[in-house]
Amino acid sequence: MNTCCVIGLGYIGLPTAAVLARAGHRVIGVDVNPDVVSIVNQGRIHIVEPDLDQAVAETVASGFFSAQITPAPADVFLIAVPTPFHSGSEGLPQPNIDYVLAAARAIAPVLRPGNLVLLESTSPVGTTEQLGELIADLTALSTDDLHIAYCPERVLPGRILQELISNDRVIGGLTSAAALAGQAFYSTFCKGELLSTTARTAELVKLTENSFRDVNIAFANELSLVCDHLDINVRELIRLANHHPRVNVLQPGCGVGGHCIAVDPWFIAAAAPHCTPLIQAARRVNDGKRRWVIEQVQARAAALEDQLGRPARIGCLGLAFKPDVDDLRESPALHITTELLVDGLNVLACEPNLSDHLTIKLHALEQVLAEADLLVFLVAHSPFKGLDLSGYTVFDLCGVTEQDGSV
């Protein structure tokens, strides 16, 4: 087995490190946040993910997994750092790969010929090439000396530990030898099919997967607006339409969140702005759904205020970007709740997967149910299912109050 240095101990890096350690690799986890390093070395976790606490505790106790601030010599370097975006030209968000390049600079002093460098961060096309060029500039090690490849994760929060092992993987090398080296490494813990290609193709594969989902969610969100206008239950509509053997409409929500689906389409659009009208339109539909929700809540609160003779108390249920996780990245629910607070509404925010938040006061579900006049369900967390909502004014954006609890 290898010594593996995992750069970034977040929502992907930490579970990956635990899976690698369980597979028998010696894993050195690296994170710039000393609090994260300290927590991990105590065998604890700083994120919510089922069964991850046990995996980290076991692998740290066994000595196969430890964390530190700086990289150390290893056989395999796996980069799993954020790739956010910032405003750019033509009104399109632009990819920001600063953290990827910083990771390259951090590992450069300890790289040796024959090492395998794997980039897992969602990245715009050409990022792996930039990574290789920067490493070559810093170390004089070329792609003939190192194996450099791109292998994007494609896991679902809430099922990460299982899907890191079971899902197929696409491995794109800067050279064919790098792709083969990547396949050999992933075969030590992955049971899914390992597919090799070029780095540029693998980068676009990842972006394509999430853009496909974004476009389809946009169709569902647009249907929800149509149904509201025509006084039709959108979830009943979709359920009936999906009985067609070749139709599978997704479910609408209050927008689209998470670091992947809400971000990746812009990476494609930024690279080819004049070729991507559909992708850009889908992004704007999904982002626009947040504004629609805010306006609907404001209108409902105003109507209740007229009835009650006082400002309505609004229970915003859920801040995470998807059910049963604590991940707030690009969360439409967080954006909606924040905007309602900024607007001066009396908001009782509830996120059962967080103990606190830097800017929003969190309330227990019991308190929200006891005090709120309007319940706004933004995320279908498990604790929100099966509640007795008789007597409440309810605005359900996620289907959590449907009779079967489906979303």
Q: Annotated catalytic sites, by residue?
A: 206, 260
**Distance separating alpha carbons of residues 61 and 45, to the nearest angstrom:** 14
Handedness of CA 72, 74, 77, 80 (dihedral sign): negative
- Which string of DSSP letters, residue by residue, matches 296-341? HHHHHHHHHHHHHSSPPEEEEE--SSSTT----TT-HHHHHHHHHH
What does residue 317 show for φ and ψ, rounded to 5 degrees? -100, 105
Q: In sequence order, which residues have a C-beta less than 8 Å from that of residue 68 and are 6 or more positions away?
A: 28, 29, 30, 37
- Is beta strand 147-150 parallel, antiparallel or unpaired with respect to 169-173? antiparallel
- In which element (H, E) is residue 196 found? strand 194-198
- Is beta strand 76-79 parallel, antiparallel or unpaired with respect to 116-119? parallel
- For residue 383, the one-letter residue type is P
Q: Which of 68, 47, 117 is nearest to 320 (CA)?
A: 47
Determine contact, residues 333/344, Cβ cutoff 8 Å: no
Tokens of 103: 């990771």
Handedness of CA 400, 402, 403, 407 (dihedral sign): negative
